[in-house]
Amino acid sequence: MAKWVSGFNDTLNELLAEFARHAGETPERYVARAVAAQMLADQRATGGEDGTLFECLRANALPASALPDVTAAITDPDRLRAVYATGLLDSPPEEMYDRITRAAADALQAPFSLISVIDVDRLYLKSEIGVVGHAVEEKQAPLERSLCQYAVANGTPLVLADARLDPTFKNHPVVREGSVVAYLGIPLLDHDRNAVGALCVYDTKPRLWATGHIQILSDLAKLTADRIFGDE
């Protein structure tokens, strides 16, 4: 078996290959991207940001690939029926959901957090922290400005430490304009595993999302789904 990381045993290398495959990358590129994110985080921690490291890393990144076409998943009739059944689209703010977005932002020390509902052609913000006047001016946005749609379409967490270095997402509109650099989103699933939206946090700086961060946000997403759909 190939050893992509010195010191990794066979199990870790198998898991590395699996995660890389899900990300659409070779294990070597997956490791390189993780190292790049760590280098940027370490540089920022020491106050040494002069742009040179980032430009070098970006120049050595893979050429940009097209954004995934998730139209089939987003327009799936069962998913859309689940979305409309929630009654969340165009609904007024509710303190319960606002408490969850505040808890997510506080727990992960993120400046931005939101609960999104993904319609056939738009993202609706059921709750948001730090968003108004920054990434989204109103309670909704065109779907092409949404990163949450990809977590929804796949039904799995979307984890981006530095989207500017990601060959898939670096040309996404909100990444290009600098509104989103680091993103962590968890889909909100009903009892039939239809994803109606996502709970996410994001930052305008790179973030290394650890397993603990993903677990905390997943727990809060489960609380959100329980509020929307009720406990089984």
Domains of the chain, earliest start first: 10-62 (no CATH), 78-229 (3.30.450.40)
pLDDT tens for 23-59 read 666 777 777 777 777 776 677 667 666 567 666 666 6
Q: What is the pLDDT of residue 55?
A: 63
Query: In angstroms, rounded to a whole number, what is the distance separating the alpha carbons of residues 145 and 183?
Result: 13
pLDDT digit string (tens) for 140-159?
A: 999 999 999 999 999 999 99
pLDDT score, position 65: 63
pLDDT tens sequence across 184-218? 999 999 999 999 999 999 999 999 898 999 999 99
The arithmetic mean of pLDDT across residues 121-137, rounded, is: 76
Interval 156-181 mean pLDDT: 91
Percent of the chain with pLDDT over 70: 81
Neighbour order of strands in the sheet with 112-118: 140-142, 122-129, 112-118, 195-203, 182-189, 158-160
* 21: its two tokens: 């495959």
Rounded to 5 degrees, φ, ψ at 228 are: -75, -45
pLDDT tens digits, one per residue of 102-119: 999 999 999 999 999 999
User: Which band of pLDDT confidence, cut at 50, 70 and 90, is reported for residue 133?
Assistant: very low
147 burial (CB, 10 Å; 0-12 / 13-18 / 19+) is buried
DSSP labels for 171-214? TSHHHHTTS-SEEEEEEEE-TT--EEEEEEEEESS-----HHHH
Q: What is the pLDDT of residue 147?
A: 96
The average pLDDT across 163-183 equals 91
Mean pLDDT of the chain: 86
Nearest partner of 61 among 101, 24, 30, judged by Cα = 30
